[in-house]
């Protein structure tokens, strides 16, 4: 997205929130929803538009795990690495995903299709290893199984 477009989107969000500095977290959430992540230009425009120091905007943007300062994939993959899933072979499933997608955990594929992350227990231990892709829970995953699961996503 061009810098000009980013600035326009940011300003639309700022207007929606009446440029209220107290709503910085909501504003950043909305900007991320519009753009997909929080690029440097968006944070700078938000800082200008709200009259807040850039350091303040950056500290909020980096504090919350829900915010991403780099582009994210269309589908978020979360591999559960909690104890139960770990014991049932989550590491092998994670390694397979890393190998197939060519990214390490925390990374995003070049085509922006997938972002790969890990979580600790999603409350479905009996069905481990669990892999969550977007909103879909996939239980009893194996390295072979996850390869076919990933093919279901465009």
Question: Which spans of this chain sit near ligand FES (rule: CB under 6 A)?
Answer: 80, 82-85, 121-125, 128, 130
- Calculate ∠ Cα 107-114-29, nearest 5°: 80
Which residue's CB is nearer to ligand FES, number 59 or number 120?
A: 120
- 26 and 46 Cβ atoms separated by less than 8 Å: no
Antiparallel, parallel or unpaired: β 75-80 and 131-133: antiparallel
CA distance 32 to 10: 10
Residue of closest CB approach to ligand FES: 82
Nearest distance from residue 121's CB to ligand FES, in Å?
4
Spell 59-71 as b/e; 16+ CB within 10 A means b.
ebbeeeeebbeee
Nearest distance from residue 101's CB to ligand FES, in Å?
21
Which residue's CB is nearer to ligand FES, number 51 or number 123?
A: 123
Which residue's CB is nearer to ligand FES, number 27 or number 79?
A: 79
Return the residue matching tokens 């700022």. Answer: 14
Which residue's CB is nearer to ligand FES, number 12 or number 83?
A: 83
Nearest distance from residue 146's CB to ligand FES, in Å?
14
Angle between helical axes of 40-50 and 54-63 (0-180°, round to 10): 130
Nearest distance from residue 120's CB to ligand FES, in Å?
7
């Amino acid at each position: 997205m061009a810098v000009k477009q980013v600035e326009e989107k940011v300003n639309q969000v700022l207007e929606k929130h009446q440029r209220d500095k107290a709503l910085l977290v909501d504003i950043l959430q909305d900007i991320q929803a519009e753009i997909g992540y929080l690029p440097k230009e968006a944070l700078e425009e938000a800082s200008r538009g709200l009259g807040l120091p850039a350091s303040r905007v950056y500290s909020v943007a980096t504090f919350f795990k829900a915010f991403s300062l780099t582009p994210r994939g269309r589908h978020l993959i979360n591999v559960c690495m909690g104890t139960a899933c770990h014991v049932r072979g989550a590491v092998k499933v994670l390694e397979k995903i890393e190998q197939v997608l060519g990214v390490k955990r925390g990374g995003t594929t070049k085509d922006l299709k997938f972002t790969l992350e890990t979580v600790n227990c999603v409350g479905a231990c009996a069905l481990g290893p669990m892999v969550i892709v977007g909103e879909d829970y996939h239980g009893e995953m194996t390295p072979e199984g996850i390869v076919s699961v990933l093919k279901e996503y465009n």
